[in-house]
Structure 1
Amino acid sequence: MKAAAPLVGELPGCPPGTLFEGRRALSEAGVHRPLQAGIAGTALGGAVSVVLSGGYEDDQDSGHQILYTGEGGRDPRTGAQTAHQLLTRGNLALARSHLLGQPVRVVRRVAGATYRYDGLFLVTAFWHEVGRSGYRIWRFLLESEATLESEGPTAATAAPDRHATTRLRRLSRHAAQVKAWHDHTCQLCGLRLSTPAGPYAEAAHIRPLGQPHGGEEPGPLA
């Protein structure tokens, strides 16, 4: 019998703040199925959950915003980063979640073998860069869905400057629906980009930004 697909989003009877003793308890509750991997999901369907356990030296966690390091490239004996990360498997699943506007469940290890489910987060950006150990890593900006809904549109600045563009926080699922309506095709120039995670489109602007367009920076939303 074929196993049921992982459930995306909140799980009935498991509100944020729920504690679990060990990875097996997390798996049996369906919050995060893998017993070892930090990312659960598929390249086609996107990620459904991630675990922060302090395993990657480049992770940054400020509560409602997380710079999450992708998987791969670590020595299984020492935990040191010894190779480049690839946009495959769990990394590709997180990238796919960004393109789909699909939330992921975030779990944090809080003490010893105790884990806490901390709610839904959106993958609002992803990119690659050289990490502390000198190898290429994939970075994913995860932002609390509850915080995004309560704060409304504000400038996001967590991505490195060389990757930064004028980007407004928005509910990714709404943006994903608009992109799907237009088949991820730019309504100004007709360009449609493809990535390993699927077709890609970024937020549209009434006037193009940057050179050679010379467009103006967008003002505050009404």
Structure 2
Amino acid sequence: MGTEFPSYAALYAAGIHNHTQAGISGSSKQGADSIVVSGGYQDDQDFGNEIIYTGHGGRDSAGRHVDDQKLERGNLALVVNEIEGLPLRVIRGADQTNPFAPAEGYRYDGLFRVDSHWCDVGKAGFKVWRYRLLKIGDESPTQEDHTPGAPYEGDNAQTHRLTTSVQRIVRDTKQAKMLKWYYRHTCQVCGIRIAVAGAHYIEAAHIRPLGKPHDGPDTTDNIICLCPNHHIMFDLGAFSISDDYALIGIEGKLSVRDGHKINSEHLAYHRERFLSRFESRG
């Protein structure tokens, strides 16, 4: 980490980045092994140990954004990294607007994990795929943590493969526990109630994610109760929810009890995150 390279060709020769031009190295089946952050996309945001990375595609030969990005090739590879928990190398290229970039050339800045992905409308007015990347194995942020209530937590137990660290928002468990009790620990999608030793298990899913860049609130109008399967499917965009609670992407309707008011703006935000997937489904 910290090794500098004069060019893409030097990165390729060293086996750090296996492309001589593309910003994402990898495949849609096996995941990405490395990315280059060099200011090529105006929607990128670099906070040091956290990067909001823009996928590839949609630009012309002059580098202007002229079309929507598609969830394919390198963009899909990053989704595989998120689902499978695969780390990837991050290389930063010279960028005068980025205080974390090298003055010239390229620098290998360590391993990151893909925390989440979503679809957004970029500054140029076209759809882009965005990814939240978090640094692995470095608990000290390179600048003051810009996400209130999001401490860097300790490393997981070491395994025979690698040591990773988990970063997550500290949730207001009082809100989540209250809603779980109100639904009697039952999934609002499938109605399942998982019995465990002496209790029942359900998960509190935030419709609009907490923390930057989403800034969702930890309030009951932004929380639904889901079983682990539907929680994962919801977070990864396998389905969304319409304003009348009909499910989009899978059959069914969200069960909502009297007194639980869900904010339609949060539902719309989730739909927009995965806009390209739901357009053809109504």
Amino acid at match of 2:76: L
Superposition pairs of residues 32-181 of structure 1, within 5 angstroms: 32-77=17-62, 79-110=63-94, 114-147=105-138, 151-152=152-153, 153-155=167-169, 157-161=211-215, 164=216
What RMSD, in angstroms, separates the aligned Cα atoms of the two structures? 3.2
Distance 2:89 2:217 in 1: 27
Cα offset, 1:159, TM superposition:
3.2
Q: Which residue of 2 aligns with 1:203?
A: none
Cα offset, 1:114, TM superposition:
1.1
Distance 1:35 1:189 in 2: 41
Question: Cα deviations across residues 66-98 of structure 1 (Å, max 9, x unaligned)?
Answer: 010000000112x11100000001000001100
Distance 2:76 2:131 in 1: 11
Q: Which residue of 1 aligns with 2:14?
A: 29
Q: Secondary structure of the residue that 2:113 maps to in structure 1? A: strand
Question: Cα deviations across residues 10-64 of structure 1 (Å, max 9, x unaligned)?
Answer: xxxxxx1011111111001111010000000111111110001111011111111
Distance 1:190 1:69 in 2: 28
Aligned partner (choices 204, 208, 227) of residue 188 of structure 1: 227
Amino acid at match of 1:158: K
Distance 1:97 1:143 in 2: 12
The TM-score, its normalising length taken from structure 1, stands at: 0.66
Structure 1's 107 and 160: CA in aligned 2 closer, same or farther, altered over 3 A? Answer: same
Cα offset, 1:191, TM superposition:
4.8
Unaligned runs of 5+ in 2: 95-101, 141-150, 154-166, 170-209, 219-225, 240-253, 261-282
Distance 2:46 2:231 in 1: 34
Distance 1:120 1:44 in 2: 20
Distance 1:189 1:36 in 2: 40
Q: Does 1:18 align with 2:27?
A: no
Corresponding residue pairs, total: 167
Q: Does 1:212 align with 2:256?
A: yes
Structure 1's 30 and 135: CA in aligned 2 closer, same or farther, altered over 3 A? Answer: same
Pair member with larger Rg: 2
The TM-score, its normalising length taken from structure 2, stands at: 0.52
Do the aligned residues in 2 keep the contact of 1:69 with 1:140 (CA within 8 Å)? yes
Q: What is the percent sequence identity of the aligned residues?
A: 39
Amino acid at match of 1:34: H
Cα offset, 1:199, TM superposition:
8.2
Unaligned runs of 5+ in 1: 1-15, 167-186, 201-209, 215-222
Cα offset, 1:113, TM superposition:
5.7
